[in-house]
A and B are shown apart, each in its own frame.
Chain A
Amino acid sequence: MKMKNILIGVSCALSLQLAAPASTNGGTPDLFAVRVGSAETITQGTIPHAVILIEHGKIVMIGQDLEIERGVPVFDRPDWVAIPGFVNCYSRAGMSSRGSSGTTPSVMASTELYPTEPIYSDLLDLGVTTLGLYPPGNGIPGQAVAIRTRGDSAAEMILDDGVYLKMLMRSNASSKKMIRAAFGKADKHGEDVEKAREKWEKDVEKWEKDEKKRKDKEKKDKEDGKAVADKDDEDKGPGDFVEPTPDGTASAFLGLRRKNLSAMISIRKAGDYLHLVDALGKEDFDWCLRVPLRTDIDLYEVKDQLGADNRKVILEPRLTLMAWTMRERNIPDELSGAGANVVFVPNGDDLESHKMWRFHVGHVVKRGMDYQAALRGMTLGPAEVLGLDERLGSLDAGKDANILFFSGDPLEAASQLEMVMIDGNFVSDEVVR
């Protein structure tokens, strides 16, 4: 009852705009509702007979059998299943540059974004509404950018820049030294600031002394009847304290410590994880792991540690073999079961891999992974990696209306992706017509 009242209230407030249901966006109205067979909300489970009210590109309300004010257009699709748009947080789609192997944390992937690349609209057609694009290279190559897969300019596409700092960690002395050295630079900057402040304080003291002397002299001169010195060359003093600007490395790693920035650390095997933890020591910052699922990877060896930390782990939806055997292992399932936050990326960066993405996830579910955890791994999980979980990744009031409509279970091979909606706009105007 309460829900209904609110709904009416909202609708009334919007009735002015309703008078002219604008069709600025390819025929999709500004305020409308979609009634579907069910909705996978990710945060509140499955809602059967869900109605989603959308206004100005945002989800205003979602619930079971919501009554819709007369006059609000309703698209009735009882066969459809709605789920949030897919988010691929780890991609190089449409980018081609080659990186180096040094420590360049200030490099921004956003500078090589070409909005005209056709792959973005192709990915949108496949249901990928958000991408995290990372800079290439080894070592610490730079920071990633989060984009929507629609837009004519970089400004239009970029959701957020500097979403995570990419790092590579391997089991060797130089890799560990690299990370320690980068944090060392942040320490050094702290010392530099201290030194600069001390120097400034001394300068202020000295200036105040000089000023006093000058004033005394002026006073004396006046008493003596001498001409007053020209005031033009008056010393303005050292002014306010200005912190020295940190260099790229120091600023990025200070950002990590202050939690303005998170890190994505790529490792290759379970042993790397132990060395990473060793290299990080007591550093406290937000980091997630990227682990390419090699056929015989031994990541299951550290699943308890990853689970205990509720660590975000980015990997492909893939079944692997237990090292040295032909025994099948379902690492996504094992990690998820242990408590880790499994985030999926397609098996590759090409279109075909994105097309097969949901089927591959389905395969991992078939072999035991929790269905909801798997869907989360394609939506809210990657949105969290990008720090955009307030805006994206689930069907909740207030979030961006990035919604996919399937003819059935999204992970089922026979299901069709019937329609893609990004920011409240249907990608094709088929529905509207």
Chain B
Amino acid sequence: MQLKKKQILTSTLAFASAVLLAAPIFSAPNYFEDDDAEEEPDTYLAVTGGDIYTGTGEVLRGATLLSKNGKIEEIGYNLYLPKDTEMLDAKGMRVYPGLVALSATTRLSQGTFAAGLDFHEFKPHDENEGICGDCGKDLEVIVPPALDPGEYSTEHIAVEGLKSDFDDSYDPYNGFLVMALGNGITTVQQSSTAIKLLRGRIDGVTMSDKTLTSFSWSGSNPAGKADLRDKFRAGNGYLVDYRRWEELVKKDKELKEPSKKGIDSRVLSVLEGRTMAKFNSNDAGDLLGIARLAQTNKFRPVIGGCVEGWIVAEELGRAGAYAIITPRTRLDRTENLAHETGSSIENAAILHKAGVQVAVVPANTSIDMGGTSGRDLLHLPIEAGFAVRGGLSDKAALEAITIVPARLLGIDHRVGTLEVGKDADLVLTDGDILHYQTFVQYTVVGGEQVYDKEEEVFYAHIRPRAEVAVDAGEEVAQKAPAAEDAE
């Protein structure tokens, strides 16, 4: 007995000393780690049983999409779901990539008040009581944000990630944001910045900055056209000189770098492929001019408006143009002209057929009920539906509000389609997203469910979701038929 006790004691001591010896070895790496380095556990979300429209042409019926830490980990059938995976039942629903809205109102990210707007908190006892419901006691004026465009240059990205002024003024709780999410929009363009509509969070808002450079090209300003043509010619000339110098300087180190003097930096950024050139034009003649300028100078133009694009579609296609169109726009033909003029409901279809990448925006990119109801930003998919009415395929119409605008914003590697590795930004609908009766039931941004129709005040009362009725009779088999083309 005595002996046994002693044995235990010795073995305990041995163990203790072993631990003591081992301790410094194990703890050593801690010295090199940051205090924050504690690893967060992986978060998973599985969207199960829905018909997944990937946006690349495929439809996976009754499939599962698994998101890991905000990125799409896997799409398919009979997936292994890790422990603690959050489940979102999409049975009977369609799953689409989150929509991308171009030139959207800054209300989406700033809430009710636009950035930089002076804002007063009224004295409660003053006569303004009714206006703001006596918001406060003292006159407090908002400090206007310093909008210094040069502040966040691309050099910062490597160090602290991409940031823009929108990061510091983003309101992740505002109602416009919730309404946009409730209509399937998960990414928006705010001035020259692309931001993700995060809810309840302010980190990681900005996705890209300054991807489009605006130029003017108008038949009523021939001097301007000639000037722009010269600038592009000079820009290309400089690039040729520069490339030649790059070769020659390897042999002759004394050789001087060609001067950038007189070269338009905006033009250069387009020719070097750092940004895309954006024009706004509806006139067929101007569109033709832009197409030729682009072909001559070897860049791909982005054309907003493009109402008469269908007339010169072939030329725009050859120039590799992008068109940002509003299919419902009406423009009467000019009767005294012999050639074709005016708008056509087939505009999107014809442009797409000619090889133009078509993006769709609604007539009004604000969120507003005053006179624009049915044509504001919340009707982005409906607007794309009008392109379908004019002959565009469902697939191209979906692309026009997802991957094509994502390309224009330089974020197509992260959003726009449902593919492994991309951001888990999804929209779950109760039908075809382009159909006017369809409601968004859930929205997921960055692998987090941020919208549930039944939980928000806006649409919960319209055709409430009958949770039990869905597929009560017809069990959707987990093993669905193989993927098929959406077209």
Mark A residues whose CB is within 8 Å of B: 90-92, 101, 136, 138-139, 168, 170-178, 266, 268-271, 274-275, 278, 292-296, 298, 301, 320, 322-325, 327, 345, 347-350, 352-353
Contacts and interface: CB of A to CB of B under 8 A. Distances in A.
A178 to B, nearest CB: 7
Nearest to A91: B137
B173 A176 contact: no
Interface in B200-237: 200-203
Given A178-B143, A352-B125, A292 B174 contact: no
Nearest to B166: A173
Interface string B310-333: 000000000000000000000000
B28 interface: no
B457 A269 contact: no
Nearest to A296: B133
B121 A353 contact: no
8 contacts: A172-B144, A174-B144, A274-B172, A278-B202, A324-B175, A348-B134, A348-B137, A352-B125
Given A324-B175, A353-B125, A292 B137 contact: yes
Contact of B168 (A91, A101, A171, A322): A171
A138 B170 contact: no
A323 B133 CA distance: 13
Nearest to B456: A324
B115 interface: yes
Contacts of B169: 171-173, 275
Interface in B360-376: none
B125 A173 contact: no
Contacts of B141: 101, 138
A343 to B, nearest CB: 14
B135 A139 contact: no
B168 A295 contact: no
Interface in B282-327: none
Given A271-B172, A274-B172, A275-B168, A345 B145 contact: no
B140 interface: yes
Nearest to B110: A171
Interface residues of B, number: 39
Nearest to A298: B173
Contact of A295 (B123, B133, B200): B133
Given A174-B145, A320-B133, 16 more contacts: A170-B143, A172-B144, A174-B144, A175-B145, A271-B170, A271-B174, A274-B201, A275-B168, A275-B170, A278-B202, A292-B135, A294-B133, A301-B173, A323-B174, A327-B457, A348-B123
B457 A168 contact: no
Given A270-B173, A271-B173, A275-B168, A295 B457 contact: no
A369 to B, nearest CB: 19
B132 interface: yes
Contacts of A298: 173-174
A177 B132 CA distance: 28
Nearest to B121: A292
Contacts of B146: 173-174, 177
Nearest to B124: A348
Contacts of A352: 125
A269 B115 CA distance: 14
A172 B200 contact: no
Interface in B61-102: none
A295 B143 contact: no
B476 interface: no
A334 to B, nearest CB: 14
A323 B134 contact: no
B171 interface: yes
A301 B125 CA distance: 28
B248 interface: no
Given A172-B144, A174-B145, A292-B137, A347 B124 contact: yes
Contacts of B170: 171, 271, 275
Nearest to B168: A173
Nearest to A292: B136
Contacts of B115: 172
B412 interface: no
A298 B175 CA distance: 10
A181 B146 CA distance: 14
